[in-house]
């Protein structure tokens, strides 16, 4: 009986010690966002920087049927990221019976087989891992 009484008192003490004091001063740091975020962008330097960025982009020819499997793939949809540039992303519906050969997890390089519907849409019918 004495052990139960001591245990109950220790539990109550542990609960009261772990709770915070409501009278403690609040920590209000004020404006924590840098002032540079709110300053307007200098258009002359921004335009020059973007001009240099577009000049350095190489013309990469992407494959038409080889893709990376994207992180946005679900049970019904398959997100495909262009290979090798990873610049374009498309989402296709999966066919009811999808033939998968190899590993088709996120980030893997796969070859895709499409079925073109009469309406002009395309659905994925086969996924084959490219090694």
pLDDT of 118? 93
How much is the pLDDT for 65? 82
Residue 104, pLDDT score: 87
Low-confidence residues of the chain, pLDDT below 50?
none
Q: Which residues neighbour 66 within 8 Å (Cβ) at sequence distance 6 or greater?
A: 83, 109, 110, 111, 112, 130
pLDDT at 33: 67
> 99-112, pLDDT tens digit by residue?
999 998 888 999 99
Please tell me whether the overall predicted TM-score, pTM, comes out greater than 0.75 for this model: no
**What's the pLDDT at 16?**
78
Residue 111, pLDDT score: 93
Domain extents for the chain?
A: 66-129
Geometric angle at alpha carbon 20, from 18 and 21, rounded to 5°: 135
Q: Which two tokens stand for residue 22?
A: 């409501």
């Amino acid at each position: 009986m004495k052990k139960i009484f001591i245990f109950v008192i220790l539990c109550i003490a542990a609960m009261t010690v772990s709770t915070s004091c409501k009278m403690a001063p609040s920590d209000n740091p004020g404006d924590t966002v840098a002032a540079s975020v709110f300053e307007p962008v200098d258009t002359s330097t921004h335009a020059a920087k973007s001009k240099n960025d577009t000049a350095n982009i190489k013309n990469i020819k992407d494959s038409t049927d080889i893709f990376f499997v994207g992180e946005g793939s679900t049970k019904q949809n398959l997100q495909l990221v262009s290979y090798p540039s990873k610049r374009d992303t498309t989402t296709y519906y999966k066919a009811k019976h999808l033939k998968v050969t190899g590993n088709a997890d996120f980030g893997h390089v796969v070859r895709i087989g499409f079925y073109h519907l009469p309406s002009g849409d395309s659905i994925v019918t086969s996924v084959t891992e490219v090694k």
